[in-house]
Amino acid sequence: MMSAELYSLTYAGGQKLTLAQGDVSQEAVDAIVNAANQELLHGGGVAALIVRAGGRVIQEESAAWVMAKGPVSHDRPAYTSAGSLPAKYVIHAVGPVWGSGQEDQKLAAAVAGSLRTAESLGLRSIAFPAISTGIFGFPKKRAAKVIYTAIEDHCSSQPGSRLTDIRVVVYDESTTEAFIEVWEQVYSA
């Protein structure tokens, strides 16, 4: 089940960016992005929702990733299967905790790293949640600007990419309002 599309645009390189409201775990895309912590312990927020919906295999594969490769960094996400979710993969992006320093750069690195991971897997579609805006406390409007900019930067540097369907899927009303406001400022001006 896809979420409700709010806005979309197509970049010069052919990639489509969509802002939608819904449940990122239910997106029928090649990969969904999980807002993760460095140890990939999926105990709260979007991460817990994804594991509940997709099954324990996601947590088991995450634990195996950390055991084999160590903690996950902002710019180098991990990925696992998506269990019983409609997606094929879950890309585990480590978003910054607000107040940790260099939050904008860390969030941009998490988005860019997720897009690079999707490219390396040969994927065509990806859906992002509002990374770090929940329990990590990143201000929603500021996060929207950083996320949109990181996606735009990636798309402008990858014309002709196979990754042509990029979705930002927001869940609750306050996040939706913030992401719409920034979309209208950035893309409708």
Amino acid at 52: R
2-46 pLDDT, tens digit each: 689 999 999 988 999 999 999 999 999 999 999 999 999 998 888
154-163 pLDDT, tens digit each: 999 988 889 9
State the Cα–Cα distance between residues 168 and 175, nearest whole angstrom.
11
Token pair of 94 as six digits: 């480590």
Helices (H), 3-102: 45-54, 57-69
The pLDDT assigned to 28 comes to: 94
State the Cα–Cα distance between residues 13 and 155, nearest whole angstrom.
7
State the Cα–Cα distance between residues 103 and 156, nearest whole angstrom.
23
The pLDDT assigned to 37 comes to: 93
State the Cα–Cα distance between residues 148 and 17, nearest whole angstrom.
9
Helix axes 103-120, 140-157, angle to 10 degrees: 40
3-state secondary structure of 189: coil
The pLDDT assigned to 3 comes to: 85
Residues (pLDDT < 50) of the chain are none
pTM of the full predicted structure? Answer: 0.95
Task: Let me know: does 180 contact 6? Beta carbons within 8 Å.
Answer: yes
Exposed, middle or buried by CB within 10 Å (0-12, 13-18, 19+), for 158?
A: middle
Token pair of 30 as six digits: 């090649």
4-187 maps to which CATH number? 3.40.220.10
